[in-house]
Amino acid sequence: MTAALTAVGSGALHALSGPDHLVSLTPLSVGRARGGWAVGLLWGIGHGIGTLLLGALLIAAASQVHLASAAVWAERAAGIALAGMGVHGLVGLRRGLAPGSASRSSAPWKALVTIGLVHGATGAAGLLLLLPAAASASLAHRAVYLAGFTLGSTLAMAGLTAALAHASRWRRAAAVVRRAPAAASSVAIALGIAWVVAA
């Protein structure tokens, strides 16, 4: 039970503390009249699948892989994906897609799942949070930890995007809503490039 709760908490912490998560999903969440939670849920499902794949690889190859080298390439891939989300957001805004517009609200679910998958499978921070699963000698403990981590990160992301969508509909937030997608997309590009360069 403790392992499951620790894993859920670690997954939620990972999802909510990653600036890449916030800047990737803000342009897709703000201004939504309904379904803001679905953005985070779909992204979280992809993230969970990616995390499970990364965790399985980590467990299978714990003694074979040089984790520092794997982390460098993972950060580069995450940086490229993050910059790509930023570019996608700015292109959508340039084409006149307002936050929460019909085209934006029907953001392809496959794209959300795929971006989440890339983030889940490549982030070094997630890799570090998965080490308890890799260090465990029990297969059951590993499975519980990976499932809990995935559940925690998915639910936290759904909650975050629902909160962003809800808060963005407040009248006082109108100015922020107009600026948030462009700002978040720009930060995503800058952060993605910084990760690629720093790795």
Q: Which tens digits make up the pLDDT trace of 126-146? A: 666 666 666 666 778 778 888
The pTM of this model reads 0.67
Residue 62 per-residue DSSP state: T
pLDDT digits (tens, 9 = 90+) for 60-100: 766 566 656 666 776 677 677 767 777 877 777 677 655 54
Q: What is the pLDDT of residue 67?
A: 57
Q: Which one is predicted more confidently, 189 or 67?
A: 189
Residue identified by tokens 């039970």 is: 1
Domain assignment of residue 80, given as a range: 2-198
For the chain, percent helix, then strand, then coil, each to nearest 5? 85, 0, 15
What is d(CA 26, CA 14) in angstroms, rounded to the nearest whole number?
Answer: 17
Q: Is residue 158 packed enough to be buried (19+ CB in 10 Å), middle (13-18) or exposed (0-12)? A: buried
The count of structural domains within the chain is 1
What is d(CA 15, CA 186) in angstroms, rounded to the nearest whole number?
Answer: 20
Instruction: Tell me if 177 sits within 8 A of 29, measured CB to CB.
Output: no
pLDDT digits (tens, 9 = 90+) for 17-60: 777 777 778 877 877 878 889 989 998 899 888 888 877 777 77
